[in-house]
Copies of this chain bind each other. A is one copy, B any other.
Amino acid sequence: MTTLTAYKKHLQEIGKLESAISLLHWDQRTYLPQKGLAARALVLGKLARIAFELLVSDKLGHYLEELETQDDLSLEEQASIRVVGKAYRRHKSIPPDIYEQFTIAQSRSESAWEQAKKTSDFELFRPHLQKMVDFSRQFAQLYGYETNPYDALLEEYEPGMTTEQLRSVIEPLRKKLVPFIKRLREEGTRPRTEILDGTFPIDKQEELSLRVLKAMGYDFSAGRLDTTVHPFTISTGPQDTRVTTRFIGDNLFSGISSTMHEGGHALYGQGIPPELHWSGLDGGASFGIHESQSRMWENMIGKQLPFLKFFQPILASVFPEFAHTRPETLYNALNTVTPSLIRIEADEVTYNLHIMLRFELEEQLINGRISITDLPEVWKDAMKRYLGVVPKDDAHGVLQDVHWSTGMFGYFPSYMLGNLYAAQIFAKVREEIPDLDEQIANGKLVVLLSWLRKQVHRFGKTYEPQELLQRITGERLNPSYFTRYITDKYSQIYKL
């Protein structure tokens, strides 16, 4: 067996364990009965440990060392060695004991956060959050970085991205968004939204979601749709990428948006070609690129007029009360802008401001420039600066998101990058498919899918995000596509 074959075989062994782990996670968040939770954590811990040991094994280290100097490898093989080598070195840099302490602390911290959020009691969460920050700072040192320890964490979610680059994107974006939101509120005409009011039986909502997913080109023989509390998409194996969504009885489009968002992620997962399965490249190029796919389907398709023209008759066939609703009425009602407290409920105009705030705070936390004790107050100040609203309690403020409770510092920027990437890629889509709107209005959503398959999905992690973006759009990250998209769309809707 050549080293390359042995290396690929080793990755497959890791892949098999990761598939099992993913299924255990999927089940935990969909069907696991409550009393099964305690044992499930132990089972997951065991498999994660086996996978970890395979990833940091000396065997893999030797393979990588040898292959990194080999010059007859294909593009994909080189990419695999880059991606796996990075993961190997990052994991290897953390002493196993510290990693084990971290995973135990993580699980306690997440439980404490859940409790703290429920009772809006930051003090309950504070010592755990302190530990998560301390671990993350320690990891940043162990991973290594050039100028800012936060870069070392960012690398996990958005390879190649730096704090400096983020700042250079955020500042001009904020300078456009904040006054634009002000203009919308002060000079614009807010659309009426009564058309969305009503009660919508869950089984009928599910039927609608299934039809939309199908129209998007989602392959139900390689996935499925289930419901959960916090929707997610997961590949529980090659050729098995599952969508979950959430239906709310009195908010019909919440479920449809959630399904289209997760469907966007899932199409990416289903679009990874078989030759990349279990190769280390079978995933999105980055969290940001993944999010670009979900946000594109959710907002740039789902909340646009062409899609709503196609969708309205389907909607009316399931909910006859929409029989005489004009697509334009739906379009306007679905696209209102309201600075609000909760990130996951934010509209696409204000959403990025929620992210900027989190980036600002977590970058300071990792650099030790703000203390955990001050965090709730710092949060409120920042909310006022970015969005002009201030939470009455911490449940609607600093405690609202799960990410920090498990030490996922560096994750939030992916959400913003996803929006920016989506707009930049979608501009290219429009250029290359001139009759896109007409096709979408005719229900031919798969023209978009085919394009994304060819330009984005099929590469998996072969290219780093900025490189991929350059290949797709001919330029690196350029936030002006997003601001143009937002100002065009909402100026029209708000009759500015």
Contact = CB atoms under 8 A, between A and B. Distances in A.
Nearest to A219: B35
A344 interface: no
Interface in A1-43: 12-13, 16-17, 19-20, 23-24, 27, 31-36, 38-40, 42-43
| Copies held by the complex | 2
A322 to B, nearest CB: 25
A237 B16 contact: no
Contacts of A24: 20, 23
Contact residue range for chain A?
A: 35 or more
A103 to B, nearest CB: 15
A43 B27 contact: no
A267 to B, nearest CB: 15
Nearest to A237: B39
Contacts of A238: 36, 39
A168 interface: no
Contacts of A17: 46-47
Interface string A30-72: 0111111011101101110010000000000000000000000
Contact of A42 (B16, B32, B47): B16
B46 A222 contact: no
Tell me what chain A mostly uses at the interface: helix, strand, loop, or mixed: helix
A226 B39 CA distance: 21
Nearest to A222: B35
Nearest to A236: B36
Contacts of A223: 33
A39 B224 contact: no
A239 interface: yes
Nearest to A31: B224
Given A24-B20, A42-B16, A46-B17, A34 B237 contact: no
A110 interface: no
Given A39-B240, A238-B39, A47 B33 contact: no
A221 interface: yes
Contacts of A236: 27, 36
Given A24-B23, A39-B237, A43-B19, A34 B224 contact: no
A20 to B, nearest CB: 5
Interface in A108-156: none
Closest 7 CB pairs of A and B: A36-B240, A35-B239, A16-B46, A35-B222, A39-B237, A16-B43, A34-B221
20 contacts: A16-B43, A20-B46, A27-B27, A31-B224, A31-B226, A32-B240, A33-B221, A33-B222, A33-B239, A33-B240, A33-B242, A34-B222, A35-B222, A35-B240, A36-B239, A39-B240, A39-B277, A40-B237, A43-B237, A50-B50
